A and B are shown apart, each in its own frame.
Chain A
Amino acid sequence: MIVVIDSLNRHEFPELLDEMFRLRARVFGGRLGWEVEVTDGREIDAFDALDPLYVIGLDEEGHVISCARALQTTGPHMLADVFSAILHGEPPLRSANLWESTRFCVDTERLTLGRGSVKGTVSHATCELMIGSLEYLRSCGITDIVTVIDPVMDRVLKRSENAPYGYVGETTPMGKVPAMAALLDTGEERVERVRAFAGIAGSVFADQVALGRLRLREEVLAAVRRMEGAPQAVADLVDYIDGQLRAATTDGEREAVRRLALGLSATGGVQAAWRATRQALAGAA
């Protein structure tokens, strides 16, 4: 399931964005060994301050499993600045209908833990994110994408019926890994090919019901985070409440968790909240 976050709705989804920055830190700072700055377990750079558009993939439990970031090529973007070595001093492409996609990644750790379902595979998550990105950008009037990727991602694109139609500049080492700038169109034919390859039919975007659940989670966790107490104790309580929300299967159960969380946050301190929770659990048992 794909959620698109931009300057208009980012205030509604701080938890999702935070989870995305942590995923980027694990992938780019960890697994891929790119030269990125990771602070406090999060990879955030100067371009994130420019209100880019994020396309984020979630698994069935609501965990962030994939993401990509889009910027206009008419204004500041990575190829013009950070990745300019790929272009060997040549000015980058600049077009109203061309956006740059960067920081495309998938949570291979979580996905290869595997729960056996087709939907939980790396390939499915990658294709879903690609379909979401291509379709959303097309709806914005964007006909082409220039994307900075490594050769591994290039092979993934080719394997999933989504081969770049061209490249700009040359493959250039960026830190430990080579990077390249590939061109993709957002045409329907390409999307259809990827859909057929991955066996994905129907809308990949979160519907109103799913968005409503995500907003409820944001509201609940924000209330818990506002509580006073030792940071670790607050974090533990957030994890606990989040776990309860993920375990909830009906709207009634979700509403119960919401009432519990808001009730706890009204008690003020985390210590008191844990006491109340333990008492409630003891009462239930």
Chain B
Amino acid sequence: MELIDLGATVHSEGVFEDFLHQICERFELEHAAYAGVNPVSQTIHGFVTYPDAWKRHYTEQGLDRLDPTLHCAARSIAPVDWSRLAGQPNFDRVFRDAGDFGIGRLGLTIPVRGPFGDIGMLSVSGNGRPEQWHKRVAEVISDLQSVAVHIHDTVMRSEDLSRLLRHPQLSKRELEILQWTAAGKTQHDIGEILSISHRTVEVHLKSSRDKLYALTTSQAVARAIALRLIYPI
């Protein structure tokens, strides 16, 4: 299943929640939540797949002020498995309540740092045995990093001011590689043409995708053409 390409979507009501639901389905997760802070506009964004009753309880009880999955993870650069937070103050308070709403303690928060002091967090949770959970996380964590940055960038860009600041800045090398990709060349071909390793080609393509708010290389090529960064062939 293809994830919604948030980079292309006109941001209508519910599109970020839909994206989170798709993340859960694709990576076999129970719940997903995104929270982001934009210091430019001083706004906070939040989207979750949690049941309404838990959302209400969470807000009414002011758990957002206590929740260590937000406050500890916000300062980390590495993904934070919730088991590392077990000793934190308020962990038990928040997760005792969460348990009443059927939300378990197996989870992971992936922090994202953006270029303008913006911070986002994608939290995902699961159920089952801890060993299974950790195995599952190891399998999908690199994809989760990628979708975390995707949702963060697109949420931040949903504000007019931030969109202006976030005009994609690609290097000559990235554009050159995208141009050859548009011409139908494989990573291997491009490596030969430019006398660089195919892995160097790949890391530049990954970077171009993230800069163009694209999940796939073909989306990135299309967007680069639309932005007149490269020529259609």
Contacts and interface: CB of A to CB of B under 8 A. Distances in A.
Interface of A: 6-8, 50-53, 70-76, 80, 87, 90-99, 139-144, 165-166, 168, 183, 185
15 contacts: A7-B77, A8-B72, A8-B76, A53-B76, A53-B78, A73-B207, A74-B210, A87-B171, A90-B173, A94-B211, A95-B207, A96-B148, A97-B142, A97-B206, A140-B79
Contact of A93 (B115, B196, B203): B203
Interface residues of B, number: 41
A244 to B, nearest CB: 29
A165 B201 CA distance: 10
Given A75-B114, A76-B113, A165 B207 contact: no
Given A141-B141, A166-B200, A6 B207 contact: no
B113 A75 contact: yes
A98 B211 contact: no
Given A6-B76, A96-B145, A74 B170 contact: no
Smallest CB-CB A-B distances: 7 pairs: A75-B113, A166-B200, A141-B141, A96-B149, A7-B75, A141-B142, A141-B145
A140 B137 CA distance: 10
Given A53-B77, A74-B112, A75-B113, A95 B206 contact: yes
Contact of A94 (B72, B75, B173, B210): B210
Contacts of A143: 142
A183 B84 contact: no
Contacts of A166: 196-197, 199-200, 203
A25 to B, nearest CB: 23
A166 B199 CA distance: 8
A139 B80 CA distance: 11
Contacts of B172: 90
B207 A98 contact: yes
B168 to A, nearest CB: 9
Given A52-B77, A94-B115, 6 more contacts: A53-B76, A70-B77, A72-B112, A93-B203, A141-B79, A165-B199
Contacts of B79: 140-141
Contact of B197 (A90, A95, A165): A165
Contact of B80 (A8, A87, A142, A165): A8
Contacts of A97: 142, 145-146, 206
B138 interface: yes
A99 B142 CA distance: 12
Interface in B50-90: 72, 75-80, 84-85
Which among A6, A80, A99 has the greatest number of chain B C-beta atoms within 10 A? A6
Contacts of B148: 96
B144 interface: yes
Contacts of A139: 138, 141
Nearest to A4: B78
Contacts of A98: 203, 206-207
A165 B202 CA distance: 11
Nearest to B115: A75
B78 A6 contact: yes
Given A71-B77, A74-B113, A75-B113, A96 B210 contact: yes
A51 B196 contact: no
B204 interface: yes
Contacts of B170: 91
A143 to B, nearest CB: 6
Nearest to A80: B115
A7 B72 contact: yes
Contacts of B78: 6, 53, 140
B206 A51 contact: no
A89 B72 CA distance: 35
Contact of B203 (A80, A87, A95): A95
B173 A168 contact: yes
Which among A75, A91, A141, A185 has the greatest number of chain B C-beta atoms within 10 A? A141
Contacts of A6: 76-78
Contacts of A168: 173
Which among B78, B150, B196, B210 has the greatest number of chain A C-beta atoms within 10 A? B78
B169 interface: yes
A257 B173 CA distance: 59
A185 B112 contact: no
Which among A53, A92, A93, A183 has the greatest number of chain B C-beta atoms within 10 A? A93
Contacts of B142: 97, 141-143
